[in-house]
Structure 1
Amino acid sequence: MIRQAHQATTKLRCTRQKLGALGLKASALESAAFVPAGRQCAGLEPGFGLLASGMKHAASIAFGCLVVLGTSYMVCSAPVITTGRLLEEMTDLAGLARWPEPAYRTMQFSSYDRRSTTAEAPGWFSNADGFGREPIPGFLKVLREPRDGQPGLYLVAEVNGPGAIVRGWSAGMGGTLRVWLDPAAAPEAAEAPPPIWEGPAYEFLARRTQHFLKAAGLSVDAGDAFVQQDADYLPIPFARGLRVTWEGRLNELHFYHLQVRLYPPGTAVRTFDPRKDLKEFEPQLRAAIAGLTKPVAGPAGEPIQLEAEIAPGRSWSWSPQAKGPGAVRELKLRLRADSLDTALRGCLLQIAFDGSQRPQVEAPVGDFFGSGPGVNPFSSLPFTVEPDGTMSCRFVMPYEKSLRIELVNYTAAPVRLEGSVRLGEWTWDERSLYFRAKWRADHDLLAGAGVLDLPYLVAIGKGVFAGCAAMVMNPSGVPTAGGNWWGEGDEKILVDGELTPSTFGTGSEDYFNYSWSRPDLFDHPYCGQPLDSGPDTAGYVSNHRFQVIDAIPFEQSLAVLFELWPHNRTPGLSYARIVYHYARPGTVDDHRGLMPSDLKVPLLPAREPVATGGAAGAKFHFFEDLQPQATAGKVQTAPMPLASRLRLTLWQAEKGAQLKCTLPVEQDGRFGLHLVALHRPEGGIVRVRLDGQTLVRTDGTEEIQLRSAHAPRLLNVHFRPVQLTAGSHELVLECLQPGPVGLDYVWIRKP
């Protein structure tokens, strides 16, 4: 027995050496599970060695025949966390439906205002979070004060133990970022190993994928799989720790997020190698790109067709004939109604698992899919909305015994439902989680009278936060984002009773992966802005972000808050939102069951343009007041619910025709001219002349395509400044391609 124990000790020493060769912590072995010999762990054979476990490059360590008190044992450790495994997790929606193994925590290092500490302490709503000249630098520590004109050195992130970078974001951070994985005691010392990154901060936070693909010698078109707006999701694991510093000037922009997974001590992690990993894990890399950019549902049976005519005030429901366990792998719905926007908001989707009297899913149909209000096409990993109104959900929804899908028609008109559901197998166990998605709306808010924390979700229980969507009706009269922006407030995510959020953001658009309150429409695998009716960020807006590789597990509680903080006082604002998450049975939350009064699309009120923000000092002239005359094509005042006065001047423009009006100017000077015009799929193409001179847009073009990809939008068209004298000036729109031309107003201001 002594001899056998000595052999086992020798094998343990060898195993530690192999772990070291992999860049793993030897303590991973001590935390491994011991299984009696004769039994096998999944993917392992008895004996000593490095063996594949389940996936091609996920390794497990085992050594055999360790004799303790006369009993023979072997060691079975969890699969090693590698870059390849993390790439696989990027598309693993089924993985969200089980408590993660190994369990991890997610936290975010960011440039949030350090005066914000806890909810009832002074400074909770402070907002100096990366603009420059903050009272307290937005970093963990000042490592070197700036002096003699030289930039300072600041600690961005520091982790002791295993983990992984899973997301970076920046709005344009300058300076130099240095990133060390498994850093030495003094990583900045000359003899210490070099950082894996030393270069422009923004390039690492928001554009690192292409750099590391090049370093690995790969020529791969990743599309938008990793780089999504101003964020980059390329995962970077580390075995023993992380250290990130920034060298830069505090008086310059330095907005940043760096989201990190923290694994339990002893978790076996193989540290990212910039020269080797992406080449070694190229199959997983390419699979992730394909899965993210061309998403499909997981393994499931044939589609089960769903059809119904639902009368006003009536409901429809469906349950599978076979009892569980099982899982919804794909749900497709399409509504048909005389007023589709009304139906998508007024038909309530409820999904209940295992007989729950509180449905785990409760949301208007359109808003559940992140499209509301109306049909706003986009493609993402968990959701797709097609232009014809077909909406698909690929979030996996497991149940142990039963499933019930119900639609309630709270509108005043009949609605036709068409769709399908695909079910798959599921092994229900103690790690299984229910899918939950509960929508809420606050209509008629007085926004901007003070900052508010709007609750997205407060839950007590165990689960995983997987993202959210916001649907805003913003009735601001300011025509520019500088002035009509609704989302200056930060996200605050508090996990397991913490008082200071472990995720503290720097602005609502930053959470949704874009910057500077841009009105652009975009969609990516994890985020999107499919709706922004304008002008700029006024009107109807919808944003979403899905957290998969950057999901946030919670063991006891979760609170997700977003500050409501518009640039200006805005009465009548509506703010709806939905949180996608998973939770163990018995989890409770703060959701109030929805009422018919919640299920409405709030109408934009009539509002006069306001000269503030980016439009400070502007003079506004409505086209209907300028009495335009057309050389051809009908001109009329037509109702338009997006327009400032709920009506606009509509010209059925013919090619070569002109629309003429007189523009008054009160004083001499150099002015920027801006046109607020309707854009829609069938819109015309025009150019604008002022006193016979063609106006050039700020992007250098002359043609104005008054067209949108799908829904109508009311957008600014900005022209380069021109010199004008006081008096009347002839403003002419010339039609280059026929189509309707909708004109709200023109505004001029000195730049």
Structure 2
Amino acid sequence: MKNCPVMVLIIAVSLCLGCESKLRLCSAGGPVASSASDEALYVLPDGAQTHWASAENWKGEKGGGGRDNAGRKGSPSFKLGAGESKVLAEVRLGSGMVRRIWITISDRSAKMLRGIRLDMYWDGADRPAVSAPIGDFFGHGLGQMATFQSAMFSSPEGRSFNCCAPMPFRKGMKIVITNETNADLGDFFYDVDYTTGDNITDKGMYFHAHWNRGNPTTLQKDFEILPTVVGKGRFIGANIGVIANQQLYFKSWWGEGEVKVYLDGDKEYPTLCGTGTEDYIGSGWGMGLYANLYQGCTLADWDKMQYCFYRLHIPDPIYFRKDVRVTMHQIGCWDPNSRKQIHTLGKPIYANGPGLTEVNLSEGDDQRPYGLFERQDDWSCCAYFYLDKPVNNLPELAPVGERIKMIRSH
């Protein structure tokens, strides 16, 4: 073939460009405008310096790591007493980027996963942009550890917490952990990997996370995955947990609800609307265990009717320029078996739709073997978003008692 050398060159260039594109995927996943984050792996950015904050080098100082015990693993972890707070990483002045967080703890019970609080502050703000239970923030919902990997979070063997979401700052940052339980934590291991001196452009936004729970939710009032946030930004996604109400609905399907995203002044009706709960995370006809880059289900316990799942809007960005609000219906579906079980309770069941219209589930009514109905279940979630300012207008994190209530230990 006469053009073989040319073809080889074209293929080689294409492969190189493809590789570079893949290498930059993690940076491109977040809406961060930064010279350091946007450079290819083989480029040394001007001014950027690498730091690791850990129990071996609390301040991430140059030449300050591993000094205890003559450098022979003298301080790999620390104890976190009941009610105690620790600063995991801090930059008091200057720009930079938090690039990776890794944590593991000796007690990974539901009490600790919901009772340890993670707060992140940007640019000297007095209110945290991130405020969430440690478990839910890192993708472990309902106080249960899981093995999974997504584009932003992972737990390779279900014993650790990893986050690689890019978190830029312009004037400093602080990451704080607080044990809000009544029990001491024996060992807390961690790394916060960050750079300083990054050139954060005007378009670079701040990372935020908010935790919310409805226990139980209210009939015909959609659960707020993310309450109204005012400002410009990008909704990244959420990690959601559901404990279905078996006392009222037995093992009937709980996930017919549609996600709704209200953008830039939407009131009664949203701009974005889904078709079903499992549809929102890329599946269909029920929900089982799986973990993909942008969507997954980390817990699907049919016996206990407990589910945890996530969706990350990285390839399909959701931008807002005034405000955003994200909700989910609580709508279920009965089948012939659950219909009979629900009927035996003698409690009213309401059809989905306007008002509260009671459904006749008597055994003689065989015209509706399947049907949609309004539900009340226990929903919780940690939502992630970028915002054009270091503080948001959302309420403070719920007290530890509300977070732990009815969450079983493991």
TM-score by length of 1: 0.40
The residue matched to 2:404 in structure 1 has which SS? coil
User: How far off is 1:402 after superposition?
Assistant: 1.3
Asked whether the 8 Å contact 1:461–1:587 carries over to 2, the reply is no
1:566 aligns with 2:332: yes
Whether the aligned pair in 1 keeps the contact of 2:234 and 2:387 (CA below 8 Å) is yes
Q: CA deviation at 1:551?
A: 1.5
Counterpart AA for 1:92? S
- Distance in structure 1 (CA, Å) of the matches to 2:285 and 2:154: 26
> In the superposition, relative to structure 1, how do residues 586 and 312 fare at CA in structure 2: closer, same or farther (>3 Å)?
closer
Is 1:362 aligned to residue 131 of structure 2?
yes
Alignment partner of 1:539 is 2:280: no
CA distance in 2 between counterparts of 1:502 and 1:84 reads 36
Aligned residue type for 2:259 = E
Deviations 1:200-256 (A, max 9, x none): xxxxxxxxxxxxxxxxxxxxxxxxxxxxxxxxxxxxxxxxxxxxxxxxxxxxxxxxx
How far apart are the structure 2 equivalents of 1:485 and 1:303? 46
Q: Percent identity?
A: 23
Deviation of the 1:347 alpha carbon: 0.5
Identify the match of residue 440 of structure 1 among 209, 212, 222.
Answer: 212
Query: Cα deviations across residues 56-90 of structure 1 (Å, max 9, x unaligned)?
Result: 78xxxxxxxxxxxxxxxxxxxxxxxx999987775
In structure 2, how many angstroms separate the alpha carbons of the residues matched to 1:421 and 1:328?
Answer: 7
Matched with 2:320 is 554
Contact 2:289 2:297 in 1 (8 A): yes
One of 45, 48, 53 as aligned partner of 1:304: 53
Quick one: which amino acid aligns to residue 579 of structure 1?
Answer: A
Per-residue Cα deviation, 1:430-450 (whole angstroms, up to 9, x for no partner): 11100001111122346xxx3
Unaligned 5+ runs, structure 1? 1-55, 58-81, 100-283, 288-298, 605-640, 642-710, 712-751
Higher normalized contact order (CA 8 Å, seq sep 6+, divided by chain length): 2
Higher-helix-fraction structure: 2
Give per-residue Cα distances to partners, 1:474-510, cap 9 Å, x unaligned: 2325998xx5222211011122113442311001111
* 2:152 matches 1:379: no
Name structure 2 gaps, 5 residues minimum. 1-12, 35-39, 42-47, 56-76, 335-348, 350-373
Does the CA contact (< 8 Å) of 1:352 and 1:404 recur in 2? yes
CA contact (8 A) 1:379 1:524 kept: yes
Alignment of 1:656-695 (within 5 A): none
> Is 1:423 paired with 2:166?
no
**What's the counterpart of residue 262 of structure 2?**
494
TM-score (norm 2): 0.70
Equivalent residues of 2:332, 2:375 under 8 A apart: no
Amino acid in structure 2 at the alignment position of 1:427: N
1:92-132 deviation line (CA, Å, top 9, x unaligned): 35642249xxxxxxxxxxxxxxxxxxxxxxxxxxxxxxxxx
Q: In the alignment, residue 591 of structure 1 is paired with which amino acid?
A: P
Contact 2:99–2:164 (CA under 8 A) maintained in structure 1: yes
Q: CA RMSD in A?
A: 3.1
**CA distance, structure 2, for counterparts of residue 495 and residue 602 of structure 1:** 34
Indicate how the Cα distance of structure 1 residues 328 and 436 shifts in structure 2: closer, same or farther if over 3 A, else same. same
Structure 1 residues 98, 567: closer, same or farther in 2, change over 3 A? farther
Instruction: Output one character per residue of 1:635-689: Cα deviation in whole Å (capped at 9) or x when no partner.
Output: xxxxxx8xxxxxxxxxxxxxxxxxxxxxxxxxxxxxxxxxxxxxxxxxxxxxxxx
Distance across 1 between alignment mates of 2:111 and 2:230: 34
Map 1:21-40; keep pairs closer than 5 Å: none
1:334 matched to 2:104: yes
Once the 2 structures are TM-superposed, how far is the Cα of residue 310 of structure 1 from its aligned partner?
Answer: 1.2
Q: Find the counterpart in structure 2 of residue 506 from structure 1.
A: 275
Match of 1:465 in 2: 235
Change (3 A) 1:387 1:309: same
Q: Taking structure 1 as reference, are residues 321 and 585 closer, same or farther at Cα in structure 2, changes over 3 Å only? A: closer
Cα distance, 1:572 vs structure 2: 7.2
Match of 1:526 in 2: 294
C-alpha spacing 1:388/1:325, structure 2 compared with 1 (3 Å): same
Question: C-alpha deviations, 1:438-474, integer Å up to 9, x for none?
Answer: 111122346xxx3221122211100111111111122
Residue 484 of structure 1 aligns to a residue whose secondary structure is: coil
Using the TM superposition, give the Cα deviation of residue 391 of structure 1 relative to its aligned residue in structure 2, in angstroms: 0.9
8 Å CA contact retained: 2:154, 2:161: yes
C-alpha contact 1:314 1:408 (8 A) present in aligned 2: yes
Aligned positions, number: 321
Between Structure 1 and Structure 2, whose CA radius of gyration is higher? 1
Q: What's the CA shift string for 1:249-277, capped at 9, x where partnerless? A: xxxxxxxxxxxxxxxxxxxxxxxxxxxxx
For residues 364-415 of structure 1, the C-alpha deviation after alignment (integer angstroms, 9 at most, x for no partner) is 0010011122211101111111335211100011111111111111112111
Aligned to 1:584: 388
* Alpha-carbon contact 1:300-1:329 (below 8 Å) kept: no
* Alpha-carbon spacing, 1:484–1:358, altered in 2? closer, same or farther (3 Å): farther
Label 1:86 to 1:517 Cα distance change in 2 as closer, same or farther (>3 A).
Answer: farther
On the 8 A contact 1:90/1:549 being kept in 2, the answer is no
Cα distance in 1 for partners of 2:264, 2:214 equals 26
Taking a change above 3 Å as real, the CA distance of residues 503 and 554 of structure 1, as seen in their structure-2 partners, is: same
Code of the residue aligned with 2:79 in structure 1: it is E
Structure 1's 406 and 387: CA in aligned 2 closer, same or farther, altered over 3 A? same
Counterpart amino acid of 2:191?
S
> Whole-Å Cα distance in 2 between the matches of residues 504 and 88 of structure 1?
33
Residue in structure 1 matched with residue 37 of structure 2 by the alignment:
none
Contact 1:335 1:344 in 2 (8 A): no
- Checking the alignment, whether the CA contact within 8 Å between 2:216 and 2:378 is kept in structure 1 is yes
Q: Which amino acid aligns with 1:301?
A: T
